[in-house]
Amino acid sequence: MNRVSAIDIRNVTKAYGPTLVLDDISLKAEANEFIAFLGPSGCGKSTLLRMIAGLETLDAGEIHIGGRRIDEREPGARGVAMVFQHYALYPHMTIRDNMGFGLKNIRMNKAEIDRRVAEAARILEIEPFLDKKPGQLSGGQKQRVAIGRAIVKNPDIFLFDEPLSNLDAALRMRTRLELAQLRRRLNATMILVTHDQVEAMTLADRIVVMHDKKIQQVGAPMDIYARPANRFVASFVGSPPMNFLPVSVSEGANGAVATLGDGSKVTTRVKGLTDSASWELGLRPEHVRVSDQGLAAKVEFVERLGERTLVYARLGDGTALTAEDEGLSRVKMGDTIYLKVDGDAAHLFDADGKGYHTPEVG
């Protein structure tokens, strides 16, 4: 149904007055790829999406789609369609008229409009709603209509600006599934802006982590989770967040040895580091398990999640640590426990925040 195209963002910079928002951003998305822009509020991800759509101007750089430069073109001539956070449906129009309104404005013939609306409604499974008005639909159904309004434009690129943020948790999960299924049916290039890492991890082929005006890392979801480029990425991706413990580092037989503040040692498989006192040891909670031996810690809080239990504890030197235990854990607040650390899965971060990891196998 849709043409496919790659997008090439070249050295894009944007400022609002003296405030720099995006600093020399470059990125390529392949045809049919699903890319997620992930980052905290204010990192520039929505601004970048709006620049692709033509709703914001560039101060420097270029944007190309399908090999043609589009940043100097009018929004309607760029071959993109955007789905906004707010549905922006016309309440007095039927769903059929809402979906076809943009095509009617460019004077497309009625038969083609009807064909495109019917096809989009079939793909999104909203055919029973075509003669209803937006006020008769649920939030999830309205979002599907907003997506349908983009589909009928037959764009090169679909742009989604936090499309699930207005939905409740159950509906958000269901709509995530619908987006994933839609992507397969359309076989199109898509870019999603989100601050929700679950959306990014479950939907995207690659995630673009943004922070402090720049791209921090680009990679497949599990690559970013397992091998974060820096401390920010490590702290932002993952729930609960990675533990960071101040350590000194020395060379061991099989990798760096990290010494904690209480003198405890964690042997890692991270190689090639210089002995230094200004390092942080990074540990995902699932790699710190409640055990009958290991690091001694005092339990401050227990979070029971059914299939697993999160234990928030503090080591003897006062360092906070989140660990994991089985779902039927007997650990309770105030207990003294022991934590076994999986050093093979440990990360190390230098004074500048750069990440160092266990060498990849294979």
Whether 169 is in a domain gets the answer yes
Whether 361 is in a domain gets the answer no
pLDDT 10s digits, 46-95: 999 999 999 999 999 999 998 899 999 998 889 898 888 777 788 999 99
Domain co-membership, 217 together with 318: no
> The domain containing residue 112 runs over which residues?
7-233
- Give 22's DSSP letter: E
Q: Would you state the structure tokens that stand for residue 16, as one six-digit string?
A: 């609002």
Q: What is the CATH number of the domain that holds 84?
A: 3.40.50.300
Domain co-membership, 211 together with 127: yes
Domain co-membership, 135 together with 186: yes
Whether 362 is in a domain gets the answer no
Count of domains observed in the chain: 2
Q: What is the CATH number of the domain that holds 287?
A: 2.40.50.140
Domain co-membership, 162 together with 20: yes
Q: Which of 187, 209, 233 is the last residue of a domain?
A: 233
Domain co-membership, 183 together with 298: no
Whether 1 is in a domain gets the answer no
Confidence band (pLDDT; 50, 70, 90) for 153? confident
Report the mean per-residue pLDDT for the chain: 90
AA identity, residue 213: K
Whether 2 is in a domain gets the answer no
Confidence band (pLDDT; 50, 70, 90) for 1? very low
Domain co-membership, 114 together with 41: yes
Interatomic CA distance for residues 342 and 357, integer angstroms: 13
Domain co-membership, 151 together with 265: no
Domain co-membership, 138 together with 199: yes
Exposed/middle/buried for 4, CB within 10 Å: 0-12, 13-18, 19+? Answer: middle
Confidence band (pLDDT; 50, 70, 90) for 140? confident
Q: Nearest CA to 194 among 40, 33, 13?
A: 40
Adjacent-strand bridge partners of 280: 246, 349
Cβ–Cβ under 8 Å, residues 32 and 204: no
Domain co-membership, 34 together with 143: yes
AA identity, residue 8: D
Whether 131 is in a domain gets the answer yes
Domain co-membership, 214 together with 110: yes
Interatomic CA distance for residues 164 and 177, integer angstroms: 11
Whether 96 is in a domain gets the answer yes
Q: Which of 216, 233, 250 is the last residue of a domain?
A: 233
Confidence band (pLDDT; 50, 70, 90) for 329? very high
Question: Which residues, including other chains, have CB under 8 Å from residue 64's CB and lie 6 or more apart?
Answer: 7, 8, 10, 70
Q: Report percent pLDDT > 90 for the chain.
A: 64
Question: Which residues, including other chains, have CB under 8 Å from residue 151's CB and lie 6 or more apart?
Answer: 1, 2, 81, 116, 119, 120, 123, 124, 186
The whole-number pLDDT of residue 122 equals 87
Domain co-membership, 210 together with 279: no
The whole-number pLDDT of residue 279 equals 94
Q: Which of 191, 207, 233 is the last residue of a domain?
A: 233
Domain co-membership, 192 together with 212: yes
Long-range contacts, 120-123 (Cβ 8 Å, 24+): 120/148, 120/151, 120/152, 121/148, 123/1, 123/148, 123/151, 123/182, 123/185, 123/186
Is the model's pLDDT at 166 over the cut of 70? no
- Give 50's DSSP letter: H
